[in-house]
């Protein structure tokens, strides 16, 4: 009997211990869930505050846009009117800069927040579109003001940035075009070009049937730089002309006078002529 009581007491103790453990686990899980919900609520509240701030900024931007249009179309003249328009543009620029910064922060918060919130993601994407469209509208407005002799282009960040990017892109394109259309040439006697280490003998057997070739380690500064779009004719004066560099034979003409002297090297197909080499070496004797 005593043995039975001991066994039952042990079972009760085990059941009580298990129940305590389960209850403690449930408490922990409930606390974790409560914290997660609180954090998510805090994230949502934080998002909504920023959303509201952006909407308020956009409403103020729209108001200032109307003021600018009214002032710009007014028949009034004077410094005050112009300065008022400039101040409105500065104010709009500040508001839009705040909006762009808020969007950046929202995007970061959304990525780092716990759990996925598709609704917030959609709201953020929609806001980005709205701000993008509004930015484009203001850029257009600034352009129109410039046409009316209001010097406001440098006062709006997007226009200034776009202008700078366009100028920079233009410079890059110009540089690329210049490089693409740059070539180099040199003329001289065989002796002179050998002494300058421009050409060397290649091929043949112990000098027999060897040909003049452009050296791989030639000094580039000895050549004259040209724009291939502008320079196609090279005056020369020689009984013999040897084209050392490789170019299509149908892309140039070497002209000879009545005294059987060569007086002109002319490129007839510049694009074809310079495709294989941007260097022209003429040996004149």
Is the pLDDT higher at 2 or at 218?
218
Give the number of other Cβ atoms within 10 Å of residue 137's Cβ: 13
Q: How is residue 113 written in tokens?
A: 């927040």
| Residue range of the domain that includes 224 | 182-284
Distance, in Å, from the CA atom of 235 to the CA atom of 149, rounded to the nearest integer, reads 52
- Kindly state the helix (H) or strand (E) to which residue 245 belongs, with its residue range: none
Rounded CA separation 6/14 (Å):
12
Per-residue pLDDT at 240 exceeds 80: yes
pLDDT score, position 40: 62
For 57, other C-beta atoms within 10 Å of its C-beta total 20
- Please tell me whether residues 30 and 170 are part of one structural domain: yes
- Is there a single domain that holds both residue 222 and residue 277? yes
Residue 92 and residue 83: Cα distance in Å, rounded?
A: 14
Cα separations (Å) of 94 from 128, 142, 238?
17, 15, 71
Which of 141, 174, 207 represents a domain boundary (last residue)?
A: 174
273 burial via Cβ count (<10 Å: 0-12, 13-18, 19+): buried
**Are 168 and 54 contained in the same domain?**
yes
Q: Is the pLDDT of residue 143 over 90?
A: no
**Domain membership flag for residue 6:** no
pLDDT digits 0-9 by tens, 241-284 = 999 888 999 999 999 888 889 999 999 999 999 988 899 999 99
- Residue 48, pLDDT > 50, answer yes
C-alpha dihedral, 70 to 73 to 79 to 84, nearest 10° = 20
Residue 109 falls inside a structural domain: yes
| 164-206 pLDDT per residue, tens | 555 456 666 677 788 889 999 999 888 898 889 888 876 544 4
Give the mean model confidence (pLDDT) for residues 73-83.
Answer: 68
Triad 158, 162, 165: Cα angle to 5°: 140
Of 174, 202, 230, the position where a domain reaches its end is 174
**CB-based contact 215:197 (threshold 8 Å):** yes
* 206 shares a domain with 99: no
Residues forming beta bridges with residue 234, ordered by sequence position = 265
DSSP letter assigned to residue 259:
T
Q: pTM for the complete prediction?
A: 0.45
* Number of structural domains in the chain: 2
Q: In what order do the strands lie in the sheet with 182-188?
A: 224-227, 182-188, 279-284, 241-243
Rg (the chain; Cα; Å): 40
């Amino acid at each position: 009997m005593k043995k039975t009581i001991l066994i039952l007491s042990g079972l009760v103790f085990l059941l009580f211990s298990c129940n305590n453990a389960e209850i403690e686990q449930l408490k922990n899980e409930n606390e974790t869930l409560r914290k997660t919900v609180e954090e998510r609520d805090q994230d949502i509240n934080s998002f909504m505050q920023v959303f509201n701030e952006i909407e308020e900024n956009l409403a103020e931007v729209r108001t200032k846009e109307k003021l600018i249009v009214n002032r710009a179309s007014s028949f009034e003249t004077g410094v005050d009117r112009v300065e008022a328009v400039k101040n409105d543009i500065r104010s709009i620029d500040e508001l839009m800069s705040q909006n762009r910064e808020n969007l950046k922060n929202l995007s970061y918060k959304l990525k780092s927040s716990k759990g996925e919130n598709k609704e917030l993601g959609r709201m953020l994407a929609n806001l980005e579109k709205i701000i993008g469209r509004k930015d484009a509208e203001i850029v257009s407005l600034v352009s129109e003001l410039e046409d009316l002799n209001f010097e406001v282009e440098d006062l709006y960040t997007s226009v200034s940035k776009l202008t700078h990017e366009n100028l920079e892109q233009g410079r890059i394109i110009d540089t690329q075009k210049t490089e693409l259309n740059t070539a180099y040439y040199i003329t001289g006697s065989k002796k002179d070009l050998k002494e300058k280490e421009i050409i060397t003998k290649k091929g043949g057997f112990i000098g027999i049937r060897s040909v003049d070739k452009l050296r791989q380690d030639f000094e580039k500064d000895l050549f004259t730089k040209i724009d291939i779009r502008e320079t196609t004719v090279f005056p020369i004066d020689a009984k013999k002309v040897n084209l050392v560099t490789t170019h299509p034979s149908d892309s140039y003409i070497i002209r000879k006078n009545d005294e059987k002297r060569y007086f002109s090297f002319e490129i007839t197909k510049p694009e074809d002529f310079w495709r294989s080499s941007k260097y022209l070496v003429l040996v004149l004797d």
